[in-house]
Structure 1
Amino acid sequence: MSNVSQEHTGASDGPPPVRVAVIPDSFKGSASAVEAAEAMARGVREAYGERGIPVSVHTLPFADGGEGTLDALLGAWGAEPLTVETTDALGRPIRARFGVSPDGRTGVIEAAEANGLPAVADVPLQPRTASSRGVGPLVTELLDAGVEEILLCIGGSASTDGGTGVLSALGARFLGADGTELPDGGGRLRELAALDLGALDPRARTVRWRVACDVTNPLVGPEGAAAVFGPQKGADPEDVRVLDEGLDRLADVLAETTGDDLRNVPGMGAAGGIPVTLTALLGAEVLPGSRMVADVLGAGELLAGADLVLTGEGSFDSQSLGGKVVDAVRRLTPAHVPVVVIAGSVSVGSEDLRRSGVTAAFSIARGPRTLEQMQEEAVPAITWTAANCCRLLAPGRTAAG
């Protein structure tokens, strides 16, 4: 599935080349995953080239299922983004991007392209009426393209509607007690009485769904979608109560329809509850984003054959070791293979680093720098740091030595 970039340098005869896998996340605000991978690869080739050591560099831009996953997958596939007319979380017209793998079998959507917070930051937030409906047209485009599976990355949403907007756009109807369809948003879900799936696009049930989720919150309750994530979407305490009751009622109706009560299942509260409706009605598989991306791109196979692994991200901290890209890379890499992290900043303590299985971590900062300076210098600084790492790890002496 993946389109791993590789390049060999050094003599064709003699010892086999050192196999270096370069598999970074983006450096947010500074370098995309593709740019970071290319920058690291330049540093690797520079360091090994100085010593005349043959090297085989394999680059694989990576992501954890959140922001930047679409770009990382497209970069790894060597594909261009596609766009479609849709609506934002408040129903205003926008254009949103999505992607299709070169073999046409896999489609990828970042839900925030349609229902994300940044797109509605220009007006007061509307937590009760914000909807995920805009994600639906992206799904329809992928179904029309004939994909066999849809990878849905759901972080950064502005809505708390339990994914009802997505399903409504695909033909499902969420009905009140009088049989009329409820308006978009989570604010009226307390009135939900029944589902009408008669007009639901049948292709939505035959395609394979994989939903990237990096939180374990349940749908409802003090750790649920409304209580934990509602305030950042503009919800005051009364909004949180209304939205939580609506999601609870949605769980009731889904359980009556399918026989499965998902309200307390970990992860169902992600992105305003989008996973619960997709799981209950479409059989979606919810899994950590980094695991999903690793599977799609074949990262495990690449890392299993490496002699050295370089990974990285903007900030290497304690969260990096709990399901993010660095964590996925170190878990997939054989224990005897060095894993080096290159990051904008490094705040992991030495004991945590030792326990993590990461060999070493280096910041790209070259002396005191402001954030703006580091962002401007990020790409060459990543190359410089990668080269120094490999000079340390590569055997032999430079030609001048």
Structure 2
Amino acid sequence: MRVVLAPDKFRGSLTARQVADAMAEGVRLAYPDAEVVTLPLADGGEGTAEVLAEATHGTWHTVPVRDPLGRPITAGYGMSGDGLATAFIEMAQASGLRLLASAERNPLKTSSVGTGDLIQAAIEHGARSIVLGIGGSATNDAGTGMASALGWRFQDEKGQDLIPTGATLRQITRIHPPFRPISASVSISVACDVTNPLTGSNGAAVVYGPQKGATPSMVDELDAGLVHVAQLIKQQFGVDLASVPGAGAAGGLGAGALFFLKATLKPGVDVVLDTVAFDQHVADADLVITGEGKMDEQTLQGKLLMGVAKRTQKANVPIVALCGTLDLSPADLNALGLVAAFSILNRPQTLDEAVKHAYADVRQATFAAVRLFFKGAN
């Protein structure tokens, strides 16, 4: 029998790799001769680059970059080991909100320049394609900071170069492409799970600015800056970005990736599953086991577990899910296409105890689920 293990992390207790390893032990306890394929997954957000590097037997590289306030730090990116020379980059590594203290969070002052530093480092290392995750950003600069690290120049009305931030967007009067643009042979896919436009009531500044530290007056200023940049790009280059779905992701880096990088925006789940060749692994499987820390209404909103379930169902392979907290109805489980879902919590536990015993509980729950499934199938 062939069992594919494709879990997300159990937030706060186990990484996706640890969940997959515990599941693998549970399968082999039940059926020592089973063929087990482990595919730790992520949803395109924080941790995705490391998951994808591992899934492709790749390597992790640490390089000097600039943080959201321009300070020198080090950040990492993954490089695939499958011969395809794909780089895995997370915006959060260099331009993430987690890099700033609460008092430092101000999207008028922050820049995505460090993300550009990572992209440049990956290209210099020989990347022929790039997968870019853009969750968790601290910025609202439409990707102009990222572009500046790649050679784009932004000038004010006096012809002076600007340091792109949320506050300087409205001062830009001319955009100059780099002397050495990224080669057209380098393909870039952006893992983007939001459909917000760049500007307006559902745009980057209004929806996401406050969580990055923006006050109501800052939101107005940031949105005006995004409107200005979008109009300038349309006037100067004939490209209309303002209402493109996903352009408002990551403080407008969605729009910046489309224009400055000529990238393609794709749902994060699809980017991850395609990169790990999920469909090929599942094609000959007898069972898929997935999981996440909590299965609830958010699971039904198209995130990782739903994406895994849909593809597994399409392959006509049964799928079982494990979780810490199970807060879905039988109708919800049917809608997901799951054969069954089980909580790994088999006894009363405090939160600390649940975290401490999570690995063993995943292993035990997998053992029980596999035995039940294959005994029933026979």
**TM-score, structure 1 length as denominator?**
0.90
Instruction: Find the counterpart in structure 1 of residue 237 from structure 2.
Output: 258
Map residues 179-198 of structure 1 onto 2, 5 A cutoff.
Answer: 179-198=159-178
Query: What amino acid sits opposite 2:123 in the alignment?
Result: L
Compute the displacement of 1:65 (Å). Answer: 0.7
Instruction: Find the counterpart in structure 2 of residue 347 from structure 1.
Output: 327
Map residues 303-322 of structure 1 onto 2, 5 A cutoff.
Answer: 303-322=282-301
Q: Deviations over 1:282-320 (max 9, x none)?
A: 210000011011111110111122111000111112222
d(CA) in 2 for partners of 1:317, 1:105: 37
Map residues 76-115 of structure 1 onto 2, 5 A cutoff.
Answer: 76-102=55-81, 103=83, 105-115=85-95
- Aligned mate of 1:171, from 123, 136, 151: 151
Instruction: Find the counterpart in structure 2 of residue 33 from structure 1.
Output: 16
Unaligned 5+ runs, structure 2: none
Q: Deviations over 1:251-295 (max 9, x none)?
A: 112222332211111111111110112212321000001101111
Instruction: Find the counterpart in structure 1 of residue 116 from structure 2.
Output: 136
* Cα 1:164–1:59 shift into 2, 3 Å: same
% same residue? 42
* Cα 1:396–1:126 shift into 2, 3 Å: closer
Instruction: Find the counterpart in structure 2 of residue 147 from structure 1.
Output: 127
- Aligned mate of 1:159, from 131, 139, 144: 139
d(CA) in 2 for partners of 1:266, 1:384: 43
- Does 2:191 correspond to 1:212? yes
When the two structures are aligned, how many residues end up with a matched partner?
Answer: 375
- Give the aligned CA root-mean-square deviation in angstroms: 1.7
Instruction: Find the counterpart in structure 2 of residue 12 from structure 1.
Output: none
**Greater mean deviation of Cα atoms: 233-242 or 59-68:** 59-68
d(CA) in 2 for partners of 1:251, 1:269: 11
Unaligned 5+ runs, structure 1: 1-17
Instruction: Find the counterpart in structure 1 of residue 281 from structure 2.
Output: 302
d(CA) in 2 for partners of 1:373, 1:385: 16
d(CA) in 2 for partners of 1:149, 1:187: 32
Compute the displacement of 1:205 (Å). Answer: 4.5
* Cα 1:309–1:198 shift into 2, 3 Å: closer
Q: Deviations over 1:84-129 (max 9, x none)?
A: 0112111122110101011251001011000111110254312201
Deviating runs (4+, > 3 A) in structure 1? none
Compute the displacement of 1:369 (Å). Answer: 2.3
Query: What amino acid sits opposite 1:47 in the alignment?
Result: A
Q: Deviations over 1:122-167 (max 9, x none)?
A: 5431220111001122111111111111110000000111110100
Map residues 219-298 of structure 1 onto 2, 5 A cutoff.
Answer: 219-298=198-277
Query: What amino acid sits opposite 1:325 in the alignment?
Result: L
d(CA) in 1 for partners of 2:227, 2:131: 26
d(CA) in 2 for partners of 1:348, 1:59: 26
- Does 2:49 correspond to 1:70? yes
Please tell me whether the aligned partners of residues 310 and 336 of structure 2 are also in contact (alpha carbons under 8 angstroms): no
Compute the displacement of 1:362 (Å). Answer: 1.2
d(CA) in 1 for partners of 2:319, 2:374: 14
Query: What amino acid sits opposite 2:232 in the alignment?
Result: V
d(CA) in 2 for partners of 1:204, 1:172: 14
Query: What amino acid sits opposite 2:137 in the alignment?
Result: S
Q: Deviations over 1:23-56 (max 9, x none)?
A: 111112211111111111111111124xxxx421
